[in-house]
Amino acid sequence: MKLAIDSYCFHRYFGEVYPGIEEDPGSRMTMRGFLARASSLGVDGVSLESCFLPSPTPEAVSQLREDLDERGLERVWAWGHPSGLQSGDAPEEVEDLKRHTEIAAAIGAKVMRICCGGRRTRPAEWGTHKGKLVPLLRNAIAHAEQHGVVLAIENHIDFLADELVELIQTIDSPWLGVCLDTANNLRMLEDPMVAIEKLAPYARATHVKDVAARSGNPREFAFWPSVPVGKGLIDIPRTFDVLRKHGYTGLLALEIDYLHPAFGGDEQAIADSLDYMRGLL
């Protein structure tokens, strides 16, 4: 397993600021600037959120691969933030997914994280949810296989662990797996370690995230802010052991979304998180 960072850690600097709970930092970051920052943090790889480079030209894609290769960074391309296929209600998005699969291949990524939906798009009935997604994913996987890219579905606060396992097993393709977010199922009020144990056998990418409980409604996003890895409710050492047990050898990509105000600035939280993860490795 290799230490990595997801560009979403710097989402505010890419212009995405959660209204009402975050402040604009007043400065911006480019993808090239992120790669420089990642290198300075001593990571082995990066997960690159395509929403921060939504319509790259062929020249930009070529430059991105050159920058990644020059820095020796392994890479995952990430598609679909915030709602991806909208839990199956946006079949037209499959074409964009395919386009980004080709970008993933062009930058040398063997895995592309995808979002099938989000907390706002999840329907009440699992059978309907699954029935809408299966044909869309089969279509996308056939294209991904042609380009040598594994699609990794994130548990994006849209699936219970058993639902995502059922979806993966139903499609049953070596070109489809899971991007295991270590904290998102707690945000759905599931035991996070039970979810991790269920999803780890299918992991092809990760978001290593730790969270704490705050005040308010536990069914709302703001109740579960990110904290530096090792400071929250997720058993990260056990998580790494579970991933090892299942033969996972990919990137352990730190992700911090809404940072708990008690932990100050992003930079310190990121540095502390990577130091903690590095110690476990």
At residue 54, does pLDDT exceed 90? Answer: no
Q: Are 89 and 132 in contact (CB under 8 A)?
A: yes
Q: What percent of the chain has pLDDT over 70?
A: 100
Between the alpha carbon of residue 192 and those of residues 112, 182, 184, 189, 207, the distances in Å are 23, 7, 8, 8, 13
**Phi, then psi, of 136 in degrees rounded to 5:** -65, -45
Q: How far apart are the C-alpha atoms of 216 and 189, rounded to whole Å?
A: 14
What average pLDDT does range 13-25 have in this prediction? Answer: 96
At residue 118, does pLDDT exceed 90? Answer: yes
Q: What is the pLDDT of residue 198?
A: 98
- Residue 198: which of 224, 219, 180 has the closest Cα? 180
At residue 264, does pLDDT exceed 90? Answer: no
Q: What is the pLDDT of residue 52?
A: 97
What average pLDDT does range 84-105 have in this prediction? Answer: 98
The whole-model pTM stands at 0.98
At residue 79, does pLDDT exceed 90? Answer: yes
Secondary structure letter of residue 208 according to DSSP: B
b/e per residue, 13-45, with b = 16+ CB within 10 A? Answer: bbebeeeeebeeeeeebebeebbebbeebebbb
User: What domains are there in the chain, each with its CATH number?
Assistant: 2-280 (3.20.20.150)
- Which amino acid is residue 241, in one-letter code? D
- Give 245: exposed, middle or buried? Use CB within 10 Å, 0-12, 13-18, 19+: exposed
Q: Is there a cis peptide before residue 82, judged by omega within 30 degrees of 0?
A: yes
- Give 224: exposed, middle or buried? Use CB within 10 Å, 0-12, 13-18, 19+: buried
What average pLDDT does range 245-257 have in this prediction? Answer: 98
- Give 162: exposed, middle or buried? Use CB within 10 Å, 0-12, 13-18, 19+: middle
Q: How far apart are the C-alpha atoms of 141 and 138, rounded to whole Å?
A: 5
Per the prediction, the chain carries an average pLDDT of 97
What average pLDDT does range 100-126 have in this prediction? Answer: 98
pLDDT, tens digit, 9 for 90 and up, residues 199-249: 999 999 999 999 999 999 999 999 999 999 999 999 999 999 999 999 999
pLDDT, tens digit, 9 for 90 and up, residues 153-189: 999 999 999 999 999 999 999 999 999 999 999 999 9
Q: What is the pLDDT of residue 178?
A: 99
- Residue 254: which of 22, 6, 47, 1 has the closest Cα? 6
Q: Which residue has 């960072």 as its token pair?
A: 5
